[in-house]
Structure 1
């Protein structure tokens, strides 16, 4: 086009007038369709005449779109490299590269192959028109142009462009939503296939991240006041992320509704989206959060997807909890059946031997065997009770340790000696290897002996006749390690992770070959953890033996102030070499249980003492006033007024009235706190039921010498009489 020639606008042809009248109706329809589309489209004007560019721009500026100007074909092509256009107004005659050459190059690029081109020229040459349409031009306008017609035609292509863009965005959104739903379906399978709540929440958090394309997700499940599970899947860490997540979680859990925060420009962290996890009854049990959406705020569609994921998670959590409850009930029923069996078995043996003793049909050797059997089964029942009490202390957090410096070598030796009779009876070889360089540990001697004894008895129990049990002690720098290895039944791969759980037994059936409650190893692990140590179980599989490893922190050398604790014997207390004599001693027994009162009276009387036996605190005070006893043996659990009330009333008396009478507490309340309470109330010492007669007589003798200044320190407990009593320190 010749320079200086402007765009003339005097009048328009009839065909242009008709198009101008029809086009507004089309634009109106398109406008209604595109009412929700607000983005601006780009229009490219290409002409070598600046005056014509200005004139065209003035016509089109009413459309409110972005107008890009180029004065040559090359400049137009450069613009097309960086952006897309709704329509191109292209002059035909330009120097260097005319409009047709420019259009041909535009059509060669895939990105602009279908971009509408309107040729604008002052030369009505039919040959040019044909060539323009051959280049897929949508129109060929001659100047002078009618502004209304040009605006209408361009607006049609602008609206088509915006509509196409909207359709493209919708198609992309649908594609993304389909991909999200596919990932949601895959997540459902993974969530329901999780083996634990922790694993499930890890899957949920990762799925939320992947599905919504965000850098951080947090899943929290609150089962109850004491049990909360949380999983974080994050590629980034926002400033104060945990505090912000806690604030969002408190809102979601309080309202039990989804919650969204909006993005603030330049502020971190970006917006949050959180939805609740709910039970079937509608109660909240946690939340699922995502944050850090790369572009814009979270949408309603994002919320809907996260709500679906949260609903699937809630159902899976409840199913898991229901499964845990069923398993807990099964274990409870199985445990109660086992307790019944383990208690009834020794009771049956004792009743049988007692029946035979009462009939008098046993010779002296048979009577001795009967007494040994009764004693052995009483001790078996005592061990069961002690294990149950220890479990109760573990559950309530009342299991305590009295820490001192302890040499593990003597502990292991005594534990090994105590299980030798059982090992020899089965033909099992027990070997020990103790590293003399293994230093002391800071711990409770009695509890550590209980721990090692449990490991050894467990190994003996599950090792067949002719097998072998090895116990090793080794020092390794900052730790001491005790290993108990056996050639026994081994542990299956499925059961190995549960071997230290209470009530768990690899074979809980009625036909199991080994007895016990399934509490020993649970107690072992807890005692080890109380000492700052850890337990580990290893086994290649069933029938291939097992190894239990106890690791304890070695003493650091800064515990010189701690006394090295003597190891209380784990072995059962043998009968005294010389019977205890209480000749000339008057003993007042206070026990409300008639059978126990009679048995105690006979035992003490056989030691040479004079005995007065009563059943209540009031009767005891009356007996004290009538005849002054040398020592009081009193049960704690008395009716109306217990033993604590009685001892306080006794100590309130003057010494000449019996206020200084030695007193021994006898009680089935056997925790360290019970012992301390008894001594604090005024008793000289405390004996836990059941107790062996020799131990009881020795305790009475010690209490008498205590008052004359010949005995041990007041309140010191007697050594345990039974193997399991070594653990009765908490």
Structure 2
């Protein structure tokens, strides 16, 4: 018989002859018999050992009887499932009721019938073995269930990881497509816009060489055209550098009042505002999490454009205000739209997307200075802020640029400023 199949039985009786008698009756079953000659002795044993399959206990014992001992035994959680069979010489209903009340599972009456004792002990031993087997099977099922749950969780985690990788791959493909489009536009600029001033420089240089003996005024005119072509090329190259530089973040995100950001941008444009006699009105703007340096660049470019594309003989009027949208699930925060509205020359609304394309211009640089870089930089900055920038306009009826920005804390409105 293996160790795990060994059955331990505690026999409690104050008489040594009774202990020996029970031990001899059960000895052929290969049980491990542990004997105690009092209730206190039984409790002392049970303090150290609790892996008993059955307890056989005499009811009538000095100092502490069997019922009192059983009550104390069942106070311990580790012993509450050990069955107790009482051995007694009395079969009164009151004694039997008391025994069952304290937790007894059965009674054996004196004088003890050896065969009956073996049968009853055998039944409870078999019940113990089956119960133990069920407990083992239950634990195996629990372990198998836990293992299955871990596999399910690992599978779900793997699926989430695959979905996230697919999402990143799609984003990378979109980004790569955008980069390729920008490279295509750069190739066009390199082959067209950048070569235009180079052609002029070459043409007028050749003309100067051919007219070495010509009038000084004519030579000066050619030199001025070369200088202007050089300035134009310098502007284009500077624009390319600025656009490239804004692919890198310009600082850390922090909570700032957009009113202050706009005021700083206006301060930088103070001379141009005075020259054009412009009027700029700022309504209360929200506080949001942004990169201050980059966001200042956005408002600088938009206000500068409003001043640049003004109507002749009409003072520019620029109105900057905000609207709060409902909570957006995509961003996880409140969303704000900042409007920069002007009374300038406007543009056909069908070009509202094209104006954000790098080097895309709706007017010749001979009409209005510029490189077509500013709005594309604004778009790139807003993408870094998980925001957006759009525009609506009509010819001769001004333009409105809309900057969308998410925020992550309670809004604090600034004061109303009029410039």
Structure-1-length-normalised TM-score: 0.29
- Larger helix proportion of the pair: 2
